Amino acid sequence: MAEKSYQWHLLALTATGIAWKPNQLAQVEVAGKTITLSLFEGQVSACAHKCPHSGGIMSEGFLDATGKIVCPLHRFKFDTRNGRNTSGEGYYLKTYPVEQREEGLFIGIPESSLFNW
């Protein structure tokens, strides 16, 4: 299986340069995609804008005490590092890699090709 290849996009120089809501979530536009960012214990994670269950806007949810993002509609919980549904419903939330580099905070968007719809 081939490893994913990403186009990297600058989000900000550091996490403090992002417009975080009081719930430690933010919504950003990157490469034509709306993405939700989360900040937990100094670590930035990125995931899909909408819950895979019924389309709840993830940035309107909250982070629980363990850093899991919780959908505002039905309280489904997801690990923002790998997208795993941790409340047991069996859904998967798309995630994106985030890296803090010397030049700033970057997000990786998978490169499009015929074989990675």
Q: Is residue 15 part of a domain?
A: yes
Among 87, 100, 115, 109, which Cα is nearest to 9's? 109
Whole-number pLDDT of residue 115: 54
Digit-coded pLDDT (tens) for 14-35: 999 999 999 999 999 999 999 9
Q: What is the pTM of this model?
A: 0.90
Name the 3-class secondary structure at 16: helix
Q: How many CA atoms lie within 13 A of 28 on its CB side?
A: 24
Whole-number pLDDT of residue 4: 81
The more confident residue out of 112 and 24 is 24
Q: How confident is the model at residue 114 (pLDDT cuts 50, 70, 90)?
A: low
DSSP secondary structure letter of residue 13: S
The mean predicted confidence, pLDDT, of the chain is 93
Q: Which CATH number belongs to the domain containing residue 85 in this structure?
A: 2.102.10.10
Per cent of the chain over pLDDT 70 is: 94
DSSP secondary structure letter of residue 55: -
Give the residue numbers spanning the domain of 59.
6-110
CB 50 within 8 A of CB 61: no
CB 50 within 8 A of CB 57: yes
Interval 35-43 mean pLDDT: 97
Among 56, 55, 75, 48, which Cα is nearest to 64's? 75
Q: Residue 117 pLDDT > 60, yes or no?
A: no
- Domain count for the chain: 1
Q: Is residue 67 part of a domain?
A: yes
Q: Is residue 1 part of a domain?
A: no
Digit-coded pLDDT (tens) for 72-105: 999 999 999 999 999 999 999 999 999 999 999 9
